[in-house]
Structure 1
Amino acid sequence: MSENEKKKRKPLWTKAFLVTSLSNLLLFFSFQMLIPTIPTHISQLGGNDLQVGLVIGIFTISSLLTRPFAGRALDLLGRKHVLLVGLAICALTIAGYSYMAVITLILAARFVHGIGWGISTTSLGTVIADIIPPERRGEGMGYYGLSNTFAMALAPLTGLWIMQTYGFHRVLLISTLLAVLSLFSSLFISYVKPVPLEKSAERPKLIDRLWERTALLPSALLLCTAICYGGIVTFITLFGHEAGISNVGWFFLCNASMVLIVRPITGVLFDRRGPEWVLLPGALFTITGLLLLSYAHTELSLAVAALCYGIGFGSIQPALQAWTIARAAPNRRGAANGTFFSANDLGIGLGAMVLGALANVSGSYALMYRFSTMLIIVFLLIYGWSFWHVWRSVRLPQR
């Protein structure tokens, strides 16, 4: 890179970028602490397997339903106000869990918590998209995504340790405190609001107001990978029992470690060479990781599978989000993020249900993971078709 190009590049590590990333880290750490502990708490209250499953399912459904409306609100009402409302809902709901000894009330609170989560994460993703310089979008999204990865790697273990040592109410206290700190730090986010485009005389359809058409392609690709990820996080423990692997925690540790390493690298590659240089190798590493996982019978082979999968997962997700933002108009980034994150929620939910049914039919979690590689082949076919379509549209006028 020449000296002139370096001078033209806008700074990435601004105060707004750091504060937004910190707010995201605190929110995700608060949320991830509850993932393994709330189901355990439900079981201790006498809940059955269905009720334990509803704890996750209700949250996912409410978050999925909320995101399109949150995206629309972000584009109409402004980023910061919507973000603060979402964070306040999360903090109040987590604090409320402490006063609920009836499972029905906890399930109702999970629905409300999912609304706050859908608003907050969609808002933070839109705010960071406004802050990151366009020419450094891949790099910026890669670094921003590290806050999610760091929380996913440490928060569940931290939550379980606190619960086993001090009890579930202490988990809720710390989780609430983290959500409040996320809300407090968000008060200091300042950035220049994107200039809105001129309004069209024709009123757009409701579906176009809630969903962003330019985000459908990267969201479809994300859906494929999210279904695979849903199958991993839901059934990896049961697969460990099937394969005779005593500690499947190595998968999450190695996967998160590789994601932390690869995201900044692939982000720069995305900015300099384009999405195909990240998405195609990422898909191949994901397929390799899934296949190695399906044949794993030792902790070492599980770790190797996790490293390969981590390269693929760590490359694809931030690249798709950066691509989503790049394709959307500035005044439609809220709707674009709502569409993108909805695909992620839907994919994880489908992964738990569809791949679970597949495992039930095949009688093997290993076969389930091998079959799930077909989703990444669909990913490659969709991207290949879109790439050929764009290339053809560029070539045809030259004839």
Structure 2
Amino acid sequence: MEQTMKQSVRRPLWTKAFLLTALSNLLLFFSFQMLIPTIPMHVAQLGGDDLQVGLVIGIFTISSLITRPFAGKALDRLGRKHVLFVGLSICVLTIAGYSYLAAVALILAARFVHGIGWGMSTTSLGTVIADIIPPERRGEGMGYYGLSNTFAMALAPLTGLWVMNLYGFHRVLLLSTCLALASMLSSLFITYKKPSVTNPAKDTQQPRVIDRFIERSALLPSMLLYFTAVCYGGIVTFITLFGRETGIANVGWFFLCNASMVLIVRPVTGVLFDRKGPEWVLLPGAGFTIGGLLLLSYAHSEASLAAAALCYGIGFGSIQPALQAWTMNRTPPERRGAANGTFFSANDLGLGSGAMLLGAFATYIGSYALMYRYSVVLMILFLLIYGWCLWQTRRGLTALQRAS
């Protein structure tokens, strides 16, 4: 009776630690997203060619991807706040340092270092928030926490371009540096009780080399995230070229409508995840993502583009936080760092390979609209793999119930 009462109690979500972690994440992502459209323009103004402009994003992604598994191991071994502070410090110093770099080669080198700090910081914040959110409210908490990313994605690029057009790139860097510094300062006040180790005996055993950097329980959600990230990478990279191909003047409507729907849907699907389970969010989310991609491939006006964005936003806004919450539910506390490293690495890899693979495919077939239409295959794979795993799990539970 006492145990049932404890399980029915819903612990508070909006704690000081939760709010500070979400604030630190918002400031960091805003700082980062301001540079997404502006730093390639700056490199081009310095005389960089198309390859160098592309490397500004590519090198950052590669270094972040390489860093995450090591950051995940360090989080589990050295502690959350130490790795977070080092990562945020690197971000602050490199963003401030861009102002003093006049050569494209030096900016590319700084981008590599910045990617290391970004990989450490975001993996750390994802692990800290997983520690803070009560397990029974993990879906809801991840949904609200993810809104900080959405706000940044919706507003920061426009802010960066506005500041650059009015005051120049150095003012963008000044504002971005201040935001990253504020993120670092706010993270210093995050305090919470360290989660207990679920299996101390297992933790003392010497793990295999690959298990030191990759968390096996996170592989399935990470694979599903990869499919989603490839599709999104194709959208953010080629949506402008798609607009030229179809005669849609203002493709910015896609991002505005997509972000608006993500803001609406994430709190709702988070509660649904906690009450019903991941399949109630992931299966409909994949369906809406497929619908959004199909609508996008047939879009020919701003109105049809907005409709595609609204549908896609429901799917995209549902899947990512649900997969992260599901990953944390499958992972013991002492392995959350490695799990987040695995999870976010899949996201980075998906965004990067989506830009390259879908871009090559679009060149081959000669149409960005067809590229979006055929990318639906990735989400069908998402449904098939998850559906098969769900069936296997329920089959095993049924067999266990019969045996007992």
1:215 and 2:214 are equivalent in the alignment? no
* Aligned with residue 324 of structure 2, among 321, 333, 337: 321
1:246 and 2:258 are equivalent in the alignment? no
* Amino acid in structure 2 at the alignment position of 1:116: G
For structure 1, the residue ranges without an aligned partner over 5 or more in a row are none
The whole-number CA distance in structure 2 between the counterparts of 1:183 and 1:233 is 28
The whole-number CA distance in structure 2 between the counterparts of 1:228 and 1:202 is 39
* Aligned with residue 299 of structure 2, among 296, 307, 316: 296
* Aligned with residue 353 of structure 1, among 341, 356, 367: 356
* Aligned with residue 198 of structure 1, among 200, 204, 210: 200
The whole-number CA distance in structure 1 between the counterparts of 2:8 and 2:164 is 51
For structure 2, the residue ranges without an aligned partner over 5 or more in a row are none
The whole-number CA distance in structure 2 between the counterparts of 1:75 and 1:5 is 28
Offset of residue 199 of structure 1: 3.8
1:275 aligned residue:
278
The whole-number CA distance in structure 1 between the counterparts of 2:259 and 2:50 is 29
1:237 aligned residue:
240
Moved over 3 A (4+): 4-7, 199-202
**Deviation larger for 68-77 or 198-207:** 198-207
The whole-number CA distance in structure 2 between the counterparts of 1:206 and 1:53 is 34
The DSSP-based 3-state class of the residue aligned with 1:46 is coil
The whole-number CA distance in structure 1 between the counterparts of 2:252 and 2:54 is 21
* Amino acid in structure 2 at the alignment position of 1:222: L
2:178 aligned residue:
177
The whole-number CA distance in structure 1 between the counterparts of 2:66 and 2:210 is 13
The whole-number CA distance in structure 2 between the counterparts of 1:17 and 1:88 is 21
1:91 aligned residue:
92
Residues 232-260 of structure 1: CA deviation (Å, up to 9, x unaligned): 00000000000100000000000000000
* Amino acid in structure 2 at the alignment position of 1:286: T
2:63 aligned residue:
62
The DSSP-based 3-state class of the residue aligned with 1:47 is coil
The DSSP-based 3-state class of the residue aligned with 1:36 is helix
The whole-number CA distance in structure 2 between the counterparts of 1:100 and 1:262 is 42
The whole-number CA distance in structure 1 between the counterparts of 2:216 and 2:25 is 26
Offset of residue 396 of structure 1: 2.2
1:12 aligned residue:
13
Offset of residue 202 of structure 1: 3.9
Matches within 5 A, 1:255-274: 255-274=258-277
Offset of residue 5 of structure 1: 8.3
Residues 259-308 of structure 1: CA deviation (Å, up to 9, x unaligned): 00000000000000000000000000000000000000100000000000
Offset of residue 42 of structure 1: 0.5
The whole-number CA distance in structure 2 between the counterparts of 1:396 and 1:25 is 46
The whole-number CA distance in structure 2 between the counterparts of 1:244 and 1:17 is 44
Offset of residue 203 of structure 1: 1.1
1:25 and 2:26 are equivalent in the alignment? yes
The DSSP-based 3-state class of the residue aligned with 1:35 is helix
Residues 347-381 of structure 1: CA deviation (Å, up to 9, x unaligned): 00010000001100000000000010000000001
Q: TM-score, normalised by structure 2?
A: 0.97
1:187 aligned residue:
188
